[in-house]
Amino acid sequence: MGGRVGPPRRRSPDDAIAGHPGWIGAEALTRLAESERIRIDLGHSLGGPAATITMTDQDRREQVIAMARLAASLAGEALYLARRDIDASRRQDAGRWRLSG
């Protein structure tokens, strides 16, 4: 009865890439690294990864939102590219299996 409570956890690009070492191309890895760098910069900018702050400076608020959107966009691209690479690897492996069988 020790089932998980709550909504299912969404897979992150990190999960997809870690679960398929060697299948992911440089483009997906680059997007993931860019996203992670921006996410870390954003955490430092806010004072920590779980920081909750009240921003009074509208320009600063807009900069933080833009950084968060960019990090999310790059992570989404990384996930798309990683899935594409995984699918291509699976098709290639299936083709090899059919040729050798």
Sign of torsion over alpha carbons 27, 23, 13, 80: positive
Q: Which structure tokens are listed for 17?
A: 């890439």
Q: How many CB atoms lie within 10 A of CB 70?
A: 15
Question: What would the pLDDT profile of 42-101 be if each residue is shown by its tens digit?
Answer: 988 887 554 555 556 778 889 899 999 999 999 999 999 999 999 998 888 776 666 555
The answer to whether residues 28 and 22 touch, using CB atoms and an 8 Å cutoff, is no
Residue 22 has pLDDT above 70, yes or no: yes
Provide the pLDDT confidence category of residue 1 given band limits of 50, 70 and 90. Answer: very low
Q: What is the pTM of this model?
A: 0.68
- Nearest-5° Cα angle at 63, 36 to 44: 45
